[in-house]
Structure 1
Amino acid sequence: MSRLKGVSERDPRAGFRNERRVGDGPVPQGLLKAARKSGQLNLSGRNLSEVPLCVWRINVDIPEEAKQNLSFSSTERWWEQTDLTKLIISSNKLQALADDIRLLPTLTVLDIHDNQLTTLPSAIKELENLQKLNVSHNKLKILPEEITNLRNLKGLYLQHNELTCIPEGFDQLQTLEDLDLSVNRLAAVPASFFSLSSLVRLNLSSNQLKSLPAEISQMKRLKHLDCNSNLLETLPPELASMESLELLYLRRNKLRVLPEFPSCKVLKELHVGENQIEVIGPEHLKHLKSLLVLDLRDNKLKSIPDEMTLLQSLERLDLSNNDISSLPYSLGNLHLKFLALEGNPLRTIRREILNKGTQEVLKYLRSKITDDEPKQSDSVTDTAMTLPSQSRVNVHAILTLKSLDYSDKQATSIPDEVFDAVKSNMITSVNFSKNQLCEIPKRIVEVKETVSDVNLGFNKFSFLTSNLCMLQKLTFLDLRNNILSSLPEEMGSLIKLQSINLSFNRFKIFPDVLYRLSALETILISNNQVGSVDPQQMRAMEKLMTLDLQNNDLLHIPPELGHCVSLRTLLLDGNPFRVPRAAILMKGTAAVLEYLRDRIPT
């Protein structure tokens, strides 16, 4: 009984109330009994206008079943059962919380999102063990200063409220790692707010911020900063010194210039679309060697510098709706998977090429590099010693682009002359797509020491041989549009693989070997027949940011998939499951993951 002593001292009547309490009805006794055993209680979506008193007193009062049964088995000894640690009261009609909340001091998770709360009780300060507090989608206008007493808080979710200010002392939440203040009415945040040195994710989007304090650089661990949809006209230079920053969202602001990013060497995504940026120069690009995504759509750019080729890791580049009339041919040297150019007055690329998509545009740009450079063959005529097949080998691509390209030939095998042309040159990219290949060319192992990007899409592979798995430096692998139904276990040796495209194949089972590739950031496996995924193994893939499962046979989306918080893009359209509904899917990845987490059984 010792665990009840402290609470009983605060309330002398604890344990001696036998009268039936108003409001106990909506919570079945069986649910309370289960909560005493598990320490978790989910009252989501029960149309509650107030929290029943029996919930606040679940750790205090003698349970109903104890009053009716004087003998207890070891599993029913209520005084030894678990105190409540997780309480979910989301999606109800609560307008206020009682001070009785102090009777649950052992809570580590309190989820009260999607209600009608206008404030929080001052007694919330007594929840000293609280680690996660979700009060999103309410009507909060102010936060009580007592919230700063929650010194163990790691996640605080306040999005979709009516907050206009942050209380003093907020910087005392030194354990806070995840903070969401999006969709409020904040016009400013105090400089002391940026002393939250443990913060990893900060969402300030959809507020009324006109500037960010220079003190933001004090957030040494910050990886994800979202300031979309504000009124920012400039950025503090100190922002560029944040060494841990990986994702930076600045869409829909009033920015005219970008800062340089000399210290942001791990920045992977930079989103500055829908601003008023007129110039982007080499000084903005030269330090962004890790950048995967660059969003510059809906600005006022007139040109793109040749130095864009410094971004050798870049996969997605969005230049839509600018004033760009021509592109540097060197852009074709990038390994882009997505290039958006719509809405620009381009005059140097024919519309029919633009309509064919990213790879055709890049191929065109590369061909123009070749056309513009003098070739020895212009002055040397072919001799009888010249092999006919040599004319099909792009020697320029081998020498300049470090690319072994024998694509779109409808060939059933790769001629030896193609590999012979490599000689001692370093090859980083292999493109054998759009052929009739049924087997991985054996000689591909000759470039295993240097090749990082292999495209084998649009062939007839029904299996993969182990020689592909010898390419230890492989980071990008494209196998789309084949007839694969499985992957070899030997692929587990590709420990540097970051992106794999398996779309339009015949997979019925999600390849188990993918779960073991811890460096994977992108998995594209749409348009197959996959029936399920393992959320536990998926959660262990901490670097996975993009998962495309569209147009498969998923009948059920496991709620535990919501724990995969590293995902930035989760595509599920075109599957036969009933939940989440289409309306949830349309809200985007973050909303889908939050929905799934809320459905995890307690």
Structure 2
Amino acid sequence: MSRLKRAGQVDSLAGFRTEKTEPTISSGLLKAARKSGQLDLSGRGLTEVNASVPQDVYRLNIDTPEEAHQNVSFGVSDRWWEQTDLTKLLLSSNHLTQLSDDIRLLPALTTLDLHDNQLSSLPSALGELQELQQLRLSHNQLTSLPVEVCTLKNLCSITLQQNQLESLPDELGHLENLTQLDLSNNHLKGLPSSVGRLIRLQKLNLCHNNLSCLPATLAQLTNVKLLDCSNNQLTDIPASLSDMLALEQLYLRHNKLCLLPKLLAPALKELYVGNNSIEQLETEQETEQLACLTAISLLELRDNKIKILPEQITSLSTLTRLDLTNNDITTLPASLSLLPNLKLLLLEGNPLRGIRRDLLTKGTNELLKYLRGRIKEDPERADEGQTAMTLPSQARVNVHNINTLKSLIYSEKQAANIPDELFDAAADQSVTTVNFSKNQLTSIPPRLVEHLPSLSDINLGFNKLTCSPDICKFLQLMHIDLRNNQLRDLPSEMKNLTKLCSIILNYNRFKSFPEVLYQIVSLETVLLGNNQVDKVDPHRLMKLVHLSTLDLSNNDLLNIPPELGRCASLRCLSLEGNPFRTPRAAIVAKGTDAVLEYLRSRIPT
């Protein structure tokens, strides 16, 4: 009876139940860390570092031989006296809400990666990691940076993007060995003046904050090559920034600037001032500033209110890309065609007069050729006949374009392949721009992947491409021109191109709006004219919050959905040449605002 009673108390489901246990760190992983000095605990579901990371991690290098023998089984090849100090600890992509003070027990750390967690504060013990060189804290919930972090004299890189920082300690300037500082996507309203003491800084990212002004001490950062202040509340840029003699890339998009910044920037190659409120370029101050851009290669002025393009712009002899999309320009100076290196001129969304729209869709070369035709011949100008000497710009490989402009240009050759000698000449260069237009290419040249880390602008227009899967590899891509090819669809992997701003797909064979474009939220310009597109989804288009230019002209749209009027970011919508009945041609002719207003009025209430 007692036996039966005891049997009745047995849990018959015990064998099917699994106990909930905290994530553990295997002894093998710890043994490997003792040998290599590196421990990767990323993405292991750790919730709270005190509870989920065993003390063995923090005590990895301070255990006595007896303790080490108890905690980790050592064989002949794992002798404790041959262990290596832990120098790299990766704890990213977990659910950590705090960091233990025991982190001080790892004084040899040079890299500490805590990005993508839920940290709202940091322990002062971090200040004891005096060997630390890289500190990754992005994608957390930090509201402040402890002063102790500013004592880390060897720190070279600190990433703090995607937190909730509202201010920074004045002691930030003590980090004099910093070369990279990323403070983007926070709530900063100002910067401490001590930031000027970060004299070794080369990259400074301040985008997506609430900055209304920049400290004058930024001028002391004479080694900074890239400064990103996009998406702030800046109304003016201090002229003292002219002392940033190494500055090559300056991003000022989405601010409140009314004037072009006046900067004597001898090394500046790329200036982005799109999405501001700049109205004039022809004032004395503005033309002086244009004259100062002696090394400029890319000038972005899109989405402003510019009405007149001054003749002085022809002084920018190094300019290769000029973006004037979505302004109020009515006429172009014919002298624009004299810019010797201009390869891409973007003018969509301007009320240009005297220039046929079909000419604009044919590309930069045709437009410049037209403008050159409007220049009166200079009788004193010598004929440009061929000479016995070949100029650098006429050579098969233009070394000047590669070395100085970081451009690979091989266009209008009607070639089926791009010669290897072009890629060989650019082997050690960080190429940013490629122009292989007007050839007979059926696929993307395979050697183009040699420039994956740097390439941001690709022109493959006027070729014979039928698909473009390799384009998905270029994660830094911002602009791509695929017009006049034989494309029917785009690969779904293009959604990984999170920096893509503009894509030109005119004159292809698309029968529907490419699905993947709905997923690229960074898009600002989509040109899809002269295809066979028969419908567009306005609800998914509304999610493209940066989309300002959409060209659907000369397609097969039978119906324009009224909800398209809710796409508030659109400033230029081209619908002409489609077989729809409403809105009527008279409304379409009035421009984008009239069309959007009409569509909104048709939305059922």
CA distance change for structure 1 residues 582 and 30 in 2, over 3 Å: closer, same or farther?
farther
SS at match of 2:149: helix
Contact between 2:27 and 2:73, CA under 8 Å: does it hold in 1? no
- If the length of structure 2 is used for normalisation, what is the TM-score? 0.67
Q: Does the alignment pair 1:422 with 2:386?
A: yes
CA deviation profile, 1:358-411 (whole Å, cap 9, x unmatched) = 221111111111xx33669xxxxxxxxxxxxxxxxxxx7x74xx6xxxxxxxxx
Deviation at 1:153, TM superposition (A): 0.5
SS at match of 1:286: helix
Separation in structure 2 between the aligned mates of residue 166 and residue 224 of structure 1, nearest angstrom: 21
Unmatched segments (≥5 aa) in structure 1: 1-21, 377-395, 403-420, 424-445, 455-467, 492-499, 501-510, 593-602
SS at match of 1:34: helix
Tell me the equivalent position of 2:313. 308
Contact between 1:201 and 1:224, CA under 8 Å: does it hold in 2? yes
Q: Does the alignment pair 1:200 with 2:202?
A: yes
1:190 to 192, 197, 210: 192
Contact between 1:129 and 1:150, CA under 8 Å: does it hold in 2? yes
Contact between 2:359 and 2:367, CA under 8 Å: does it hold in 1? yes
Q: Does the alignment pair 1:528 with 2:443?
A: yes
SS at match of 1:30: helix
Deviation at 1:523, TM superposition (A): 4.4
SS at match of 1:215: helix
Aligned AA (1:346): L
Aligned AA (2:360): L
CA distance change for structure 1 residues 299 and 364 in 2, over 3 Å: closer, same or farther?
same
Deviation at 1:33, TM superposition (A): 2.1
Tell me the equivalent position of 2:25. 27
Contact between 1:295 and 1:317, CA under 8 Å: does it hold in 2? yes
2:338 to 321, 324, 333: 333
Higher mean alpha-carbon deviation, 281-290 vs 57-66, is at 57-66
Contact between 2:110 and 2:133, CA under 8 Å: does it hold in 1? yes
Separation in structure 1 between the aligned mates of residue 289 and residue 469 of structure 2, nearest angstrom: 44
**Following superposition of structure 1 onto structure 2, how do residues 482-561 of structure 1 map, counting pairs within 5 Å?**
482-485=414-417, 487-488=419-420, 491=421, 513=424, 516-518=427-429, 520-523=431-434, 528=443, 544-546=454-456
Contact between 2:472 and 2:493, CA under 8 Å: does it hold in 1? no
Tell me the equivalent position of 2:96. 94
CA distance change for structure 1 residues 528 and 59 in 2, over 3 Å: closer, same or farther?
farther
CA distance change for structure 1 residues 148 and 67 in 2, over 3 Å: closer, same or farther?
same
Deviation at 1:451, TM superposition (A): 2.8
Q: Does the alignment pair 1:477 with 2:409?
A: yes
CA distance change for structure 1 residues 168 and 69 in 2, over 3 Å: closer, same or farther?
closer
Q: Does the alignment pair 1:144 with 2:142?
A: no
Aligned length: 453
Deviation at 1:32, TM superposition (A): 2.0
Contact between 2:93 and 2:117, CA under 8 Å: does it hold in 1? yes
Deviation at 1:520, TM superposition (A): 4.3
Contact between 1:113 and 1:137, CA under 8 Å: does it hold in 2? yes
Q: Does the alignment pair 1:155 with 2:157?
A: yes
Aligned AA (2:280): V
CA distance change for structure 1 residues 201 and 331 in 2, over 3 Å: closer, same or farther?
same
Separation in structure 2 between the aligned mates of residue 135 and residue 117 of structure 1, nearest angstrom: 9
SS at match of 1:317: strand
Deviation at 1:481, TM superposition (A): 6.8
Aligned AA (2:80): W
Tell me the equivalent position of 2:292. 287
Contact between 1:554 and 1:577, CA under 8 Å: does it hold in 2? no
Aligned AA (1:516): A
Separation in structure 2 between the aligned mates of residue 76 and residue 27 of structure 1, nearest angstrom: 18
Deviation at 1:522, TM superposition (A): 3.3
Q: What fraction of aligned residue pairs are identical, expressed as a percent?
A: 41
Separation in structure 1 between the aligned mates of residue 178 and residue 254 of structure 2, nearest angstrom: 27
Contact between 1:39 and 1:85, CA under 8 Å: does it hold in 2? yes
Contact between 2:182 and 2:205, CA under 8 Å: does it hold in 1? yes
Separation in structure 2 between the aligned mates of residue 170 and residue 343 of structure 1, nearest angstrom: 44
Deviation at 1:549, TM superposition (A): 11
Tell me the equivalent position of 1:452. 393
CA distance change for structure 1 residues 171 and 60 in 2, over 3 Å: closer, same or farther?
same
Separation in structure 2 between the aligned mates of residue 572 and residue 333 of structure 1, nearest angstrom: 23
Separation in structure 2 between the aligned mates of residue 43 and residue 144 of structure 1, nearest angstrom: 24
Tell me the equivalent position of 1:226. 228
Tell me the equivalent position of 1:436. none
Contact between 1:246 and 1:266, CA under 8 Å: does it hold in 2? yes
Deviation at 1:321, TM superposition (A): 1.3
Aligned AA (1:522): T
Contact between 1:532 and 1:556, CA under 8 Å: does it hold in 2? no
**Following superposition of structure 1 onto structure 2, how do residues 108-123 of structure 1 map, counting pairs within 5 Å?**
108-123=110-125
CA distance change for structure 1 residues 294 and 27 in 2, over 3 Å: closer, same or farther?
same
SS at match of 1:516: coil
**Following superposition of structure 1 onto structure 2, how do residues 226-375 of structure 1 map, counting pairs within 5 Å?**
226-262=228-264, 264-280=265-281, 281-334=286-339, 335-369=341-375, 372-373=376-377
Deviation at 1:191, TM superposition (A): 1.3
Aligned AA (1:32): L
- If the length of structure 1 is used for normalisation, what is the TM-score? 0.67
Contact between 2:31 and 2:72, CA under 8 Å: does it hold in 1? no
SS at match of 1:342: coil
Higher mean alpha-carbon deviation, 54-63 vs 93-102, is at 54-63
Aligned AA (1:311): L
Deviation at 1:110, TM superposition (A): 1.0
Separation in structure 2 between the aligned mates of residue 360 and residue 241 of structure 1, nearest angstrom: 40
Contact between 2:107 and 2:131, CA under 8 Å: does it hold in 1? yes
Separation in structure 2 between the aligned mates of residue 167 and residue 153 of structure 1, nearest angstrom: 16
Tell me the equivalent position of 2:574. none
Tell me the equivalent position of 1:48. 46
CA deviation profile, 1:494-550 (whole Å, cap 9, x unmatched) = xxxxxx6xxxxxxxxxx5x25634374434679636668887x977xxxx5547599
Tell me the equivalent position of 1:461. none
Separation in structure 1 between the aligned mates of residue 196 and residue 186 of structure 2, nearest angstrom: 18
